[in-house]
Amino acid sequence: MPMQSWFSDAKLGIFVHYGVYAVDGVPESWSFYTGQVSHEQYMKQLDGFTAARYDPREWAALFVRAGARYAVLTARHHDGVALWDTALGDLDVVRRTPAARDLVGPYADALREQGLKVGLYYSHSDWNHPDYASVLHPRPTHEDVLTSRWVAPADGVEDPAAWARYLAYRDGQVGELVDRYRPDLLWFDGEWERAEEQWGLDALAARILAGNPDTVLNARMLGHGDYATPEQGVPLQAPEGPWELCLTVNDSWGFQHGDTNHKSVRQLVRYFAETIGMGGNLLLDVGPREDGTITDEQSARLEGLGGWIAAHREAVYGTVAGLPAGHHYGPSTLSPDRRTLYLVCFDPPRESVGVRGLRSRVRRVSVLGTGAPLAHRVVGGLGDVPGVTWIDAPAARDVDEYATVLAVELDGELDVYRGTGRD
């Protein structure tokens, strides 16, 4: 199936790590895997997970104000705790926590009411399932997958029958998500703990696409993914094809009481502009408290990023990657017809903004958001090597608080010089 066009046009999604780990504010699943807390202490959080103020309509409205076009909710993390009423076992928030209700259905409904695409996160691995630690990765790149009690059989003896039961459980849960909630996107994780052939992904992909042939799958659905998912740092080279940068607002995926190291709105604007300037999406993560509320600090940052996007939406939605690195000191995007270039300036421009290697003739330059026209001229050039296009700096009143965008209208489609100059 071809990649769904909505994904590349969306530019911003919101990742929501929500689960029982928010009760004590410990790292999701990993805290018992690494021994930061005991398994018993981790699982006691089930008793404190209330979702008492869970209001997915408030979430959806906030995500819209942030400028997002989709969201991804952790329906089940590596700890195996499902946020819906699963028929596969009883480890879910409906049976085992005071929340006592399905949290996925209302989330999907609320997003669709706001016109947002529905994404669900699901981990291939389940460190609480009795049949999971039953086989070994034949070609591991992470040594702990052969030694961890949560992943490898204790005696080193594999049990193919137990593994088959585990795959039936995983496939059954994914089938429930597909049939009940019809997600537009499934975001898989945990794939590194087994080889591609062990996961049985051909059958799982067929099951998903039979339920909804338009479902978008991330690359951790090995061999069947539609897009790449780098984490926590803008890549220096864009992955081939569609991609998405996963980034936390602070340093944690889920809610952690002591993590106050929030990125500023200015930093988030920078991450966002650099990502879309390379043709990717930003999947920005928030971690709600156990009661379902998103902290004021995280909400404020979503609102701030959304304000910048709203003022510069023309340079965001539906655009494609802009100039290659080196042509402009900052990211840029390009309109779908390739006739308008949007230059992002993180610092207030002084005197002028230079664009190198631009072969296309410039018709007009203006400040996006205020419409202020800016004079421009070409200086130098020899033979096939174009001169530098110099654009006058905007007045102080036209400079954006976080990042100023210049709209460069071209006489024809973008054409840039990439050569080495005259010998």
| Local confidence band at 176 (pLDDT 50, 70, 90 cut-offs) | very high
Question: Please, what's the b/e burial string for 242-276 (b: 16 or more CB within 10 A of its CB; e: otherwise)?
Answer: bbbbbbbbbebbbbbeebeebbebeebbbbbbbbb
Q: What's the rounded mean pLDDT across residues 147-175? A: 97
pTM strictly above 0.85: yes
Asked if the model's pLDDT at residue 382 lies above 70, the reply is: yes
Interval 179-226: pLDDT, tens = 999 999 999 999 999 999 999 999 999 999 999 999 999 999 999 999
The larger pLDDT score, comparing residue 245 to residue 156, is at 245
Q: Give 87-131 pLDDT, tens digit per residue.
A: 999 999 999 999 999 999 999 999 999 999 999 999 999 999 999
Q: What are the tens digits of pLDDT across the range 301-357?
A: 999 999 999 999 999 999 999 999 999 999 999 999 999 999 999 999 999 999 999
Q: Using one digit for the tens of pLDDT, what is the confidence trace for 364-374?
A: 999 999 999 99
- pLDDT band at residue 422 under the 50/70/90 scheme: confident
Mean pLDDT computed over 393-417: 97
Q: What pLDDT score does 234 carry?
A: 87
pLDDT band at 377 (very low <50, low <70, confident <90, very high): very high
pLDDT over 90 at 2, yes or no: no
Residue 1: predicted pLDDT? 52
The pLDDT confidence band at residue 3, using thresholds 50, 70 and 90, is confident
- At residue 369, the pLDDT reads 94
CB-based contact 140:175 (threshold 8 Å): no
Contact between 189 and 124 under an 8 Å Cβ cutoff? The reply is: yes
